[in-house]
Amino acid sequence: MLMSLFQFTSRRLASQAYCGLKASSSKKHKFCMEMARRSSNMADFREVFAKAKHIVIITGAGVSAESGVPTFRGAGGFWRKWQAQELATPEAFARNPSRVWEFYHYRREVMLSKHPNPAHIAIAECEKRLSKQGRSVVVITQNIDELHRKAGTKHLLEIHGSLFKTRCTNCGNVAANYKSPICPALAGKGAPDPETEDAVIPVEELPQCEEDGCNGLLRPHVVWFGETLDPDILTEVEKELDICDLCLVVGTSSVVYPAAMFAPQVSARGVPVAEFNMEATPATDRFRFHFSGPCGTTLPPALARHETEIIS
């Protein structure tokens, strides 16, 4: 998946992301060395935050983990006998759409019981407050759980899609879908226990397109391993990265491409980047700030109203 997503990213995005590692001039080299001296001084970050007009916040699985959302990663990241990368592929869906839909039905049902945590809420409240000051906040998320949307975030780019959208494999129609269950045949199905037998639901009983005369098989509208990101969304992402004057990286491992390039691209042009994560990542040394700990604890005070803000 990493290579296909990387290749799909525009040449300009890729070259900017790597220029921070391959500086060609002594001036550029000096700048990169200075950026490597990261700070955990919240007061310094708050001064930068107070002056920022266009803020980009990039979020990953870490921000949702604090809401109890399963990540399906690492040693314990199994659903029944499979890891996510064995189910979240076009090939897996073609071989066994019933099993894949059971997996996504389980994830949808779990998410209906989850709620935004203080990090999601802090981001949404910050966006609302700064919009009244003529300042912008845009969230670029790798998460498909819609917790940012539940929290009230308006300017949201979901680069990996959403659990609560479907796409028809026949006509291509994309639609929001919050039904529970998404179809009668999946009611009570999807249990994650390794001993659970597959439901083996006939294709005609799986979620079907409701467009007139179609009835095609629906699939989750998410980006699977081996698929490329929506070019229109990537264009919007690049536009936001080009104009931002502050970037936050929240709860992301900085290893999944092309999202792993976004913040380094911003840092490479001299824009402050602040990382909020439980631990350091491969990109940490390229950012100006790093704040360790749960995002729900570190982010709210970082985004709270600054004393210089004028509230109308």
pLDDT tens digits, one per residue of 224-235: 999 999 999 999
Going from the C-alpha of 97 to that of each of 100, 151, 208, 217, the distances in angstroms are: 5, 32, 12, 9
- Indicate whether 245 pLDDT > 80: yes
Q: Which two tokens stand for residue 81?
A: 């006998």
Is 145 annotated as a binding-site member? yes
Averaged pLDDT for residues 36-47? 88
**In this structure, are residues 299 and 95 in contact, taking their beta carbons and an 8 Å threshold?**
no
Residue for token pair 């399906």: 72
Handedness of CA 8, 10, 16, 19 (dihedral sign): positive
Averaged pLDDT for residues 212-220? 96
Is 79 annotated as a binding-site member? yes
Q: Whole-number mean pLDDT of the chain?
A: 88
Q: State residue 311's pLDDT score.
A: 64
Residues β-bridged to residue 140: 58, 157
Is 152 annotated as a binding-site member? no
Averaged pLDDT for residues 174-197? 97
Instruction: Out of 105, 160, 221, 290, pick the active-site residue.
Output: 160
Q: State residue 47's pLDDT score.
A: 97
Averaged pLDDT for residues 241-247? 98
Q: How far apart are alpha carbons 29 and 14 in whole angstroms?
A: 19
Tell me which of 86 and 254 has the higher pLDDT. Answer: 86
Dump the DSSP string for 64-80: HHTTT-----STT-EET
- Indicate whether 167 pLDDT > 70: yes
- Indicate whether 188 pLDDT > 60: yes
- Indicate whether 312 pLDDT > 80: no
Name which of 306, 311, 298 is nearest 122 in CA terms: 298
Is 171 annotated as a binding-site member? yes
Residue 3 pLDDT class (50, 70, 90 cuts): very low
Q: How far apart are alpha carbons 9 and 4 in whole angstroms?
A: 9
Positions of E strands within 113-206: 136-141, 156-158, 161-168, 174-176
- Indicate whether 306 pLDDT > 70: yes
Residue for token pair 């780019």: 157
Q: State residue 258's pLDDT score.
A: 86
Q: How far apart are alpha carbons 111 and 180 in whole angstroms?
A: 11
Tell me which of 73 and 167 has the higher pLDDT. Answer: 167
Residue 160 annotated in active site: yes
Q: State residue 255's pLDDT score.
A: 83
pLDDT digits (tens, 9 = 90+) for 83-139: 989 999 999 999 999 999 999 999 999 999 999 999 999 999 999 999 999 999 999
Q: Is the peptide bond before 181 cis (omega within 30 degrees of 0)?
A: yes
Q: State residue 253's pLDDT score.
A: 85
| Percent of the chain whose predicted confidence (pLDDT) is above 70 | 86
End-to-end CA distance of the chain: 47
3-state secondary structure of 293: coil
Chain centre to alpha carbon of residue 119: 14
| Percent of the chain whose predicted confidence (pLDDT) is above 90 | 80
- Indicate whether 6 pLDDT > 50: no
**In this structure, are residues 98 and 92 in contact, taking their beta carbons and an 8 Å threshold?**
no
Going from the C-alpha of 175 to that of each of 114, 115, 144, 171, 306, the distances in angstroms are: 22, 23, 15, 12, 40
Averaged pLDDT for residues 12-35? 33
Is 247 annotated as a binding-site member? no
- Indicate whether 12 pLDDT > 50: no
At residue 109, what are phi and psi to the nearest 5 degrees? -65, -40
Q: State residue 33's pLDDT score.
A: 33
Is 251 annotated as a binding-site member? yes
Averaged pLDDT for residues 284-304? 97
Handedness of CA 63, 66, 69, 70 (dihedral sign): positive
Is 62 annotated as a binding-site member? yes
Going from the C-alpha of 285 to that of each of 34, 126, 275, the distances in angstroms are: 10, 26, 10
Q: State residue 82's pLDDT score.
A: 94
Name which of 178, 179, 176 is nearest 166 in CA terms: 176
Averaged pLDDT for residues 60-88? 86
**In this structure, are residues 64 and 145 in contact, taking their beta carbons and an 8 Å threshold?**
yes
Is 228 annotated as a binding-site member? no
Phi-psi region of 189 (alpha: psi -120 to 50; beta: other; left: phi over 0): beta
pLDDT digits (tens, 9 = 90+) for 139-165: 999 999 999 999 999 999 999 999 999
Q: State residue 75's pLDDT score.
A: 56
The whole-model pTM stands at: 0.87
Positions of E strands within 184-302: 218-222, 246-250, 273-277, 289-292
